[in-house]
Each structure stands twice: as C-alpha cells, then as structure tokens.
Amino acid sequence: MAAVQAKSISCPNCGGPVQLRGFAHTLSVVCPQCLTVLDASTPQVQILQTFQAKQRVNPTIPLGSRGKIGDTQYEVIGFQVRGVSQGDEAYSWNEYLLFNPYKGFRYLTEYNGHWNFVHVESALPEKSRSGGKVSMHYEGMTYLAFDAMTADTVYVLGEFPWRVRVGDSASCEDFIAPPFMLSSESTSGETTWSRAEYMTGSQVWQAFRLPGSPPPVYGIFANQPSPYGGNVGSSWRTWLWLNVALAGLIFLFMFLSPGRVAFSDHYAYSQGVKSDSAFVTPTFALDGRNSNVELSIHTDLDNNWAYFNFALINDQTGQTFDFAREVSYYHDSDGSDGSRNNNVIIPSVPSGQYYLRVEPEMEPGSPYVRYELELRRNVPNYGFFGVAALLLLIPPVLSTFRKHSFEAARWRESDYAPTSSSDGGDD
C-alpha cells in the first residue's frame, strides 16, 4: 500500500490529536488520549460516548501497523475487546479492524493465542442438519453449530465504520468447518454473517513483521485445524500398502523357506530300558544357507507328560545346539489341557552333516510313550510376520487415537458437546 497521509482531527473533549486512517468510511473514532468515542461522520466532530476504562488495554498489534495477508496489504485502524459473561464464567477476546482502500474492511480476532482472519459475507448461508447436528451450508461447505453467546463491547480504540459504543451488545452464533468458522452477529433485527479462517500467531507475526513472539497458545480453538486430521487417512493408506508388502514378503519366504524335511523317524520310550534313555539318530544333511531348523515332536501321551533333552550336533565340527521341550497332555470329562505335540525352532544353523542326541524323561512308573521326531530345514517363522503386522498397526492406531482426542477436546468447549450434560459447554 502506498504511503498515504492520515487525516487528523482534534478531540472536542481533551483537544488531543486524533488520526483518521479509514477516510470517508470512518463513522466513529476513539480519542487515544481520553478514550472518548467521537462521531467522525460529519466535519463537526461530536462526542458519542465518554467512558472510563478501569485499565487501558494496549493492542498486541499497534494501531497503524501494516501487514500483508494473502495478496493484500491491510492497516490496523481499530481495536476492540469483546466480552461474554455467562453465569459465573466470563471471558473476552480481541478484535482488530483492518482496512485496505480497495478491499475494504477485514477483522483479525485473537483469543488465547488463537487468531482468525475474518471477512464479512454478503450472501446468506442455508440452515441444515448434518449428522443430527444443527449446521449451516455455505458455498459448498457444511458448518456445524458450535456455540452461541451474547457478546458485549468492553473496550474500543481507533476508528470504526459504524458508530461504536462501549456496551454494544450482539447475539452471536458460531458454526465450524475447521479451519473455517461461520459466525452470525445479530443486533436489533439485523444479522451479519462473517467467515473466519484460522491463523497461527506466527503467521500473524510474520504478516505484520511484528517484533518478539506471538502470545502463547492455550487450549484448542473452535476452528483450529487438527494437526492429526490429514495424518490419519494417509497413515491408514500407508498401513494398507505396507501390509500388501508384508503379504508379498510372506509369499516370498514360502518359496525361499519351503521347510524341507531333513530327518524324520518314530521312536518309543519306556522307563527302565537303558537303550531308550539317551541315543543319537543317524546323520542327516542340513544344506543351503545359514538358516533355521524346526524340530516337531508328535507323541501319543495320554494323561501324562514327557520331557525331551535334545542336542543338534554337527558331525564335522562338533558345534552343538542344546535345547529341551516338554510335552504334556491331560484330559477328563471337563475338557483337555496341553497338547500331544510340541515344536522348537533352532535359529541360524550352518549347513553340514548333523545328528540329533535325544534323551527323554518321564514320571517314574509311567507307561511307555511312542513319539515321532521330524526336522525341517528353512521353515518360515510366521511369528515374525505376526509381530510385524502388529507393530505396523501402532502408528495408524496412534494417529487415529490422537485425532479423536483432539476432536474430543475441541467439542468439550462447545455448547453442543456430546457430554454437555456432565461437563457443560464452556463458551
């Protein structure tokens, strides 16, 4: 915006200079010295209202500041504080009036560090219902009813295109479609609709090139966009593709690890027969890459247990893999417990000629048990795939949970909160 000389008048109350930046649009202006509200619509400036503010409020963005929002440069020409008092709760927010000679007026509102860039709309939204909630339909978007209040003007500074007065009151309703908010303000039969878009403090500070840092942010604002909104959909899409890749991996290892039988034989164990107590199998070949070996034990146990000490021994190097498994199976008329079978996967076994040392044990006095031992080379370990599938679920589930938590926190502040009967709508 080109540098334009502001018009200046004298305050009829205190005689102090009062600048006019809105030119012919300005209908009222507040004297910065004595806070008298003046009627600037005629050359004979008249006093509209005198008010004694208990405390002067300094706008965070000084009057006269210029900033570029979008492609348009605006100048801050007015500032007002508006308050709501509902029961024992009271809160207020700040509104900055922005002016551009070609685009007209816009507003910048600030509450608890949350900012909104507001444009007064000329078209009327249509009332509708969405998901059982009252809503407004406007320019292809649906805005959900969020809250309703009566707002009073409690402090003014600068100039305004209407005859502003401290104590002005308006009924307001807010409808949200983050990051947008549609608001109505009604005063004596006249309703104005405006549409706001959420801005962060740093965006405002950057736009107006303000020194320091913006006010800290507290809570979640009505139309604050969820930082998790977009993440959830993309997380689940990524999860889907990763699961497709996981399925491909499973198929790949069904070919790479076919689980070829390297050794299989049947045995029987009877206590007291010395030759059964510890024996070794014939040698067998475990070929291919360093990979696992699965030993399966199938027994005919009946209300009994057996314990097997195993050692898988490399016939050439003597390298030994020492392990044991218990098999127990009990049953009665109430059901069964345990299993007649068990298995163990021995990890990373180098190729070579091997034999198995087997040493069964049973409860003294037990009848003999017949069992089969089967060794498979290169078996897919489906447990890893299962764990991978579970770990892949964590990020999208976490994103979904955080999104819902964010939305729940947002709607707790609403007059239309799902749990309004217990914790109430705040503002």
Taking the complex as a whole, the smallest distance from the CB of residue 56 to another protein amounts, in Å, to 45
Nearer to another protein, 37 or 313 (CB): 313
Taking the complex as a whole, the smallest distance from the CB of residue 257 to another protein amounts, in Å, to 7
- Written as six digits, the tokens of 236 are 């689940």
- Written as six digits, the tokens of 226 are 């969820």
Taking the complex as a whole, the smallest distance from the CB of residue 66 to another protein amounts, in Å, to 36
Taking the complex as a whole, the smallest distance from the CB of residue 312 to another protein amounts, in Å, to 9
Q: Which of 197, 169, 180 minimizes the C-alpha distance to 135?
A: 180
- Written as six digits, the tokens of 24 are 């012919």
Nearer to another protein, 257 or 414 (CB): 257
Q: Which of 199, 229, 234, 232 minimizes the C-alpha distance to 214?
A: 199
Taking the complex as a whole, the smallest distance from the CB of residue 409 to another protein amounts, in Å, to 20
Nearer to another protein, 6 or 345 (CB): 345
Q: Which of 207, 156, 148 minimizes the C-alpha distance to 183?
A: 148
Nearer to another protein, 51 or 368 (CB): 368
| DSSP state letter for 217 | P
Residue 333 — left, alpha, or beta (φ > 0 → left; ψ -120 to 50 → alpha)?
Answer: alpha
Nearer to another protein, 100 or 328 (CB): 328
Nearer to another protein, 51 or 253 (CB): 253
What is the C-alpha separation between 61 and 32, in angstroms, rounded?
15
For residue 67, the surrounding DSSP H or E stretch is strand 66-69
What is the C-alpha separation between 159 and 164, in angstroms, rounded?
9
Taking the complex as a whole, the smallest distance from the CB of residue 115 to another protein amounts, in Å, to 24
